[in-house]
């Protein structure tokens, strides 16, 4: 799927509504609509639903900094296409921590999340859909 006329936020608001709501609550919309390029590992709505209690807490205004940390942990500067990822590679997130890449056969893992849809092109980067919300060590 390549919809390179839409930015990362527009793509997320269509296919990952919880992520889009979290990006809005964290005040990251303008950043992720910026020129980039960014690589976003976008958890599905089902991934957020699996931690719904945490999501409800994180969306409260007093938890904006923690929410921002979690969301920016899903973003890497540059275009990291699936074919460019290497087993054992570490990606530095916008949040500052590292995400480990593991490739096992045809499975690509980012941390403990599996990429379920790779290389969704955007006007300012690329989105990889993942099946879990990644949590940085805090």
Distance CA 49, CA 106 (A): 26
CA-based torsion, 22, 67, 36, 130: positive or negative: negative
Q: What is the DSSP string of 73-96?
A: TTEEES---GGG--TT-EEEBTTS
Element (H, E) at 7: none
Write down the pTM of the prediction.
0.91
Choose the CATH number for 8-130 among 2.40.440.10, 3.90.1150.10, 2.40.180.10, 2.30.180.10.
2.30.180.10
pLDDT tens profile 68-92: 999 999 999 999 999 999 999 999 9
pLDDT in tens, 41-76: 999 999 999 999 999 999 999 999 999 999 999 999
- Structural contact between residues 19 and 62, judged by C-beta atoms closer than 8 angstroms: no
């Amino acid at each position: 799927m390549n919809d390179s006329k839409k930015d990362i936020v527009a793509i997320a608001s269509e296919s990952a509504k919880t992520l889009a709501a979290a990006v809005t609550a964290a005040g990251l919309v303008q950043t992720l609509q910026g020129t980039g390029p960014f690589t976003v590992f976008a958890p599905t709505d089902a991934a957020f639903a699996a931690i719904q209690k945490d999501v409800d807490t994180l969306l409260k205004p007093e938890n904006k900094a923690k929410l921002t940390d979690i969301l920016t942990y899903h973003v890497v500067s540059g275009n990291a296409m699936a074919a460019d990822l290497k087993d054992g590679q570490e990606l530095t997130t916008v949040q500052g921590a590292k995400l480990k890449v593991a490739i096992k056969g045809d499975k690509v893992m980012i941390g403990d999340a599996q990429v379920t849809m790779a290389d969704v092109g955007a006007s300012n980067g690329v989105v990889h859909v993942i099946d879990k919300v990644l949590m940085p060590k805090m």
